[in-house]
Amino acid sequence: MKIKTKQTLVIILLVASFLLPLLLYVNQFGTSLSSKQSDWSNFGSFLSGIYSPLIALVALFILAIQLVIQRAASKHQFDQAFITCSREDINFYITKLEKHLKESFEDDVLIKDYIDKHFRFLDTSALTRHDVIAQIKSFHKKHQYIIDIWLAIYPIQKGLEINKAYPYEQNFEASKLRLASCISFGTCVAIDNMYYVITNDINNGKYYFTEAKRQTP
């Protein structure tokens, strides 16, 4: 049912609630004005008895609507503040990550190129090989800040992902696209693979870029 239809029905019900008692009174006692004080006193008692609780009910209904509107406005403000903060944090970490990835690793090879070459095309079985684990840990020992930044990004992503409603879901997908476009999807996969090894699959096979899965015992 559309909002306008609901509003129209509410107005009709309110008008009917106020008019019906008067119509019943007129139908029972007529429309002629009485000269007796007792009749006016009875009429006043009738109006007070009928309309006092009705007005109180309407006031309570209006108060409930105001509370709902206020709650919705507060939630909207919280959502916007949370998403803005998350976006700013992710942009900050992307800038840091881009800077470090452009640093030289060895023989004038950039860190980005090195991890793309050695850690991108690794499946779950490769990530459990001792030589691969040793290579990743050796790299991490020299350049720990790469995974440190990635560790800082993941909780922000999870905070957006956990809420499936708008605008969280849209901003979660947008943040993944921002990461992939700024540092390349392949590099994101490589860092995810390193993250998988260094944290000993702390995410239980749930990653945003790599297809590595949790090893079953």
Q: What is the pLDDT of residues 61-115, one digit of tens each?
A: 889 889 988 998 999 899 999 999 999 999 999 999 999 999 998 778 999 999 9
Is pLDDT at 185 greater than 90 in this prediction?
A: yes
At 104, phi and psi to the nearest 5? -80, 140
| 139-179 pLDDT per residue, tens | 999 999 999 999 999 999 999 999 888 889 999 999 999 99
pLDDT, average across residues 12-32: 77
| 51-61 pLDDT per residue, tens | 788 888 888 88
Residue 216's pLDDT is: 40
Say which residue, 41 or 2, is predicted with more confidence. 41
Contact 144, 194 (CB under 8 A): no
Contact 115, 139 (CB under 8 A): yes
d(CA 179, CA 193): 15
| Percent of all residues in the chain with a pLDDT value above 70, rounded to a whole number | 94
CB count, 10 Å around CB of 146?
Answer: 25
Nearest Cα to Cα of residue 95 among 32, 153, 17, 134: 153
Is pLDDT at 211 greater than 60 in this prediction?
A: yes
Residue 217's pLDDT is: 39
Residue 29's pLDDT is: 74
d(CA 19, CA 40): 19
Residue 198's pLDDT is: 92
CB count, 10 Å around CB of 197?
Answer: 21
Residue 187's pLDDT is: 96
Q: pTM above 0.85?
A: no
